[in-house]
Amino acid sequence: MNALKKAKAFLLRREGEQGQVLLILAFGMVFLAALVGLMIDVGIYTTNNIIAHNNAAVGCVTAAEAYRRGGSATIAFANILQQNGMLPQTYSPNQGTGLGLTRGLENQGDGSWRAAVTWQQPTGFLGIVGIRDMTIRGRARCVGRDSGGLAPIAVRQSAVEDSLYGIPPEEYSILGRDPHWDLADVESGTNFRGAVFVHMWCIPSGDPNCPNIRYFYPLTEAPPSAQTQKRLVEDCFKGINCSIWPPVSERLPIVSGTSDNQLCHAFQAGGWEVGDKIVVIVFDGTVYKPAPGYGNWENVAVVGYAVYEITRFEPNPRNCNNVIARLASDRIYDSLDDIPADVILLRSREISWDYGGPIPW
Amino acid sequence: MVTRKEKGQGLTEFALVLPILLLLLLLGIDPFFKAVNIALGKYYTFQAAREASIFLADGTHSCDSWVRGHVSQPTLLMGTAWTLTVTPCPSNPSWSQVSGSTVTATFDWTQSTVWWRGPWTGRMITSDVFQ
């Protein structure tokens, strides 16, 4: 009752004091609206900046990958950004260059790419104080892989170890038979020319007869036709459809029924050139020929991985039979994670915008 | 000279205005949380699509387990449920990607609300390309 009286008295104040609440409310509301508006607009700004950066990064890596595979980086960049809901004016035409790139895609010429997206985002409440839009900007720098990942090539362990100890020859054939350097070096391995299938693994891995094959998608034919096998190996040399990493102790069927010349050409068609580094499988030296009842999947056992540098194509680059290379790693690696990224880049990825060191990294 | 009646007038006025101000402030909380969740959702889908795109089949991990092992455990403001779907990225460990094809990560979430009628739902999608 007492409170009611007080409220009544308050409402029946002197005329001069009436309207103060209204005034406070008006000021308070403006202040609060500005505060809430600022909060919302800052949220919108932050959210959009994250979206912009993510889209720039995705676009950059996609473009670098497309370029590496011989496609159009610009088209790949535009396509993926459109799929992510970006309007063309946010990424095209190019604006600025190098460190100052604010929109578009740019090949830096050192193996890296820069991508940026920019747009004007209408503000919400800040429009009240005259700020009608804010600049949203996302940018990313990335590198494309400088190899096709793991090559479907298996090199004998003893050859790798000899190279590690400096025993000549320094260079030898890692793909295609070479009378000076027999990769198979076993009676049963006469079909082996250095290439293996990574889309097919023998299971269980401990059984050298390879009684059952495990097939990896996108390989769906079981067993695959000769044409499919050929295409898979060619694709692997190009670094496409070949994101498979057979671990140590797995057994892989060898590629047979082909010529040195076909393999070498497929390798060159993959874009490999003299000076490129390549990750190969190291096998234990034995090309195991299964007992007749098990079929004909001659196979090798993975003991590790090594990096080779291509030194030349024999007898000549235009019509080659052999890929000659020298060891470029200081040991046999046990897993993908052991291979330093500065030895060979296995994945396209984002790097810092202002990185000034050597590429690839 | 301030009379006795006038004493506490400011306090009373403040007491009348405060609820309105607070109400306005509180009404902004849910939209703000949603904005933050949108940013988080975008980040998670970006991460998931990126991880899927670089997945290497090693016979042990599936694409799905690889992605879930490498994407941060989603945390949301007032979030009550979420699902992260990456397509195509199956749980079959004998699956490997087709280079150049698109992988799409979709993050759906539900958040409870404080002042608005809820719950609210949200979805963020990011596409990437398999390496």
Q: Kindly list the domain boundaries of chain B, sorted by start residue.
A: 30-129
CA distance A315 to chain B (A): 33
CA distance A341 to chain B (A): 14
Residues of chain A positioned with their CB less than 8 A from the CB of B38: 47
Residue with tokens 């690839």: A360
For chain B, the helix, strand and coil percentages under 3-state DSSP, each to the nearest 5: 40, 25, 35
Could you state, in chain order, the average pLDDT of each consecutive group of 10 residues for chain B (131 residues)?
A: 64 78 80 87 91 89 92 89 94 88 94 91 92 83
Q: State whether A247 and B42 contact (CB < 8 Å).
A: no
Q: Which residue, A15, A332, A358, A38, is CA-closest to A158? A: A332
B25 at A interface, C-beta within 8 A = yes
Contacts of B52 (CB under 8 A, 6+ apart): B63, B66, B67, B86, B89, B97, B103, B105, B128, B130
B71 at A interface, C-beta within 8 A = no
Output the pTM of the full model: 0.79
Cα first-last separation, chain A: 78
Q: Which residue, A185, A165, A164, is CA-closest to A173? A: A185
CA distance B111 to chain A (A): 17
Which residue of chain B is at minimal alpha-carbon distance from A14?
B6
Q: How many CB pairs under 8 A join A and B?
A: 148
Q: What is the ipTM of this complex?
A: 0.76
Per-residue pLDDT tens, chain A, 361 aa: give them: 565 566 566 555 555 556 677 777 778 777 777 777 787 788 888 888 988 999 999 999 999 988 887 889 999 999 999 999 999 999 999 999 999 999 999 999 988 999 999 999 988 777 777 888 899 999 999 988 876 678 899 999 999 999 999 988 889 999 988 777 666 554 455 678 889 999 988 876 667 778 788 888 888 888 888 888 888 888 888 888 888 889 898 889 888 888 899 999 999 988 888 988 889 999 988 888 887 777 778 889 999 999 999 999 988 889 999 999 999 999 999 988 888 877 777 788 889 999 888 876 6
Residue with tokens 């699509």: B49
